[in-house]
Amino acid sequence: MTLRIAFFGTPAFAVPTLTEIIGQGHDVVAVYTMPPRAAGRGLSERRSPVHEAADRFGVPVETPPTLRSNDAAAALAARGADVGVVVAYGLILPAGILAAPAHGCLNLHASLLPRWRGAAPIARAIMAGDAETGVMVMQMDEGLDTGPVAMAERVAIGPDATAGEVTDQLSRLGADLMVRALAALSRGGLASAAQSDEGATYANKIDKSEARIDWSKPAADVHNHIRGLSPWPGAWFEADFGRGPERVKILRTTLADSQGAPGTLIGNDPTVSCGSGAVRLIELQRAGKQPVKAEAFLRGVRDRPSRLM
């Protein structure tokens, strides 16, 4: 059975779900996404990835700055949606919006709820050293990712996997999970179970101020911090490579056995000592430049510092 769907989403993570829903023949009556924002050196307005995808499919797009009005709820209700599908939208959906579709709203969330409710579940899971994560489809309520869960898929987090890699994996897996949930809903067979609050954690939004690397921490914590913030915003250090102090991002590392004073650059691998243990640098990025392998980066610098700050 074909469903009439109102889709709410903004980043690239949500695009596979929108694409799969349309590919399954459902009628997407409207796409809601965040308004265009100034970006790039010229600060020209840039539409969201979901906005771009919706335009390619010829789906009507709405970009309201807020949904907290009776008019917004009435406009959505007038579209006659059977269900709302929400994937990393960016705005809180008030009660009137949640109730407008006949079957309410389903949310695709990238964690194993109740662990990592909130804005940045993938990054926080990796930064905490979690060995697994997943995606869940839940029936939305007015709480923050507190609604009953209908379907779930688990995946292992590799020891060197970055947030970008896990995000790509979960976006594809989540798209498949959501269309299966919609198929069950269309047959009248989508059941859900209430979440427990026991073990609940919150994935606060990533702030750029937390991106600086603290080499005094254990190597495992440094490694998880780096890969949890890769590729955005990118964990960084400062050092003088012959052109004065500069900030450099580390996009990829692996654990190593060396030991020394925290921040000491060891050997040609290259390896950096931490509070205990060490990490081997694999991929670095200078401001405004493309990512490069660590060995190539160090070959191209004028001076090699003994310590990274």
Mean pLDDT across the stretch 10-14? 98
In a shared domain, residues 222 and 145? no
Q: Enter the DSSP assignment of 262.
A: T
Q: How many domains does the chain have?
A: 2
Which structure tokens are listed for 164? 């970008």
What is the per-residue pLDDT across 196-222, written as a single tens digit (0 to 9) for each? 999 999 999 999 999 999 999 999 999
The answer to whether residue 306 is domain-embedded is no
In a shared domain, residues 190 and 294? no
What's the Cα-to-Cα distance from 195 to each of 107, 113, 115, rounded to whole Å?
14, 7, 10
| End-of-domain residue from the set 202, 220, 255 | 202
The answer to whether residue 28 is domain-embedded is yes
The answer to whether residue 124 is domain-embedded is yes
In a shared domain, residues 169 and 285? no
Mean pLDDT across the stretch 1-13? 97
The percent of residues in the chain predicted with pLDDT above 70, rounded, is: 99
Mean pLDDT across the stretch 178-202? 96
Identify the pLDDT of residue 250.
Answer: 98
Q: How many CB atoms are located within 10 Å of the residue 200 CB?
A: 15
Q: Which domain holds residue 57?
A: 4-202
Q: What is the rounded distance in angstroms from the CA atom of residue 124 to the CA atom of residue 282? A: 22
In a shared domain, residues 195 and 242? no
Identify the pLDDT of residue 301.
Answer: 85
Which structure tokens are listed for 194? 């209430």
Closest CA to 57 of 100, 89, 13, 26: 26
Q: Enter the DSSP assignment of 229.
A: T
The answer to whether residue 256 is domain-embedded is yes
Distance of CA 300 to the CA centre of its chain: 33
Task: Using the Cα atoms of residue 149, residue 184, residue 189 and residue 80 in order, give the sign of their dihedral.
Answer: positive
In a shared domain, residues 228 and 195? no
In a shared domain, residues 59 and 28? yes
What is the per-residue pLDDT across 72-96, written as a single tens digit (0 to 9) for each? 999 999 999 999 999 999 999 999 9
Identify the pLDDT of residue 1.
Answer: 85
Task: Using the Cα atoms of residue 149, residue 153, residue 154 and residue 155 in order, give the sign of their dihedral.
Answer: negative
| End-of-domain residue from the set 168, 202, 236 | 202
In a shared domain, residues 132 and 167? yes
- Phi and psi of 155, rounded to 5°? -140, 150
**CB-based contacts of 42, cutoff 8 Å, min separation 6:** none
In a shared domain, residues 193 and 235? no
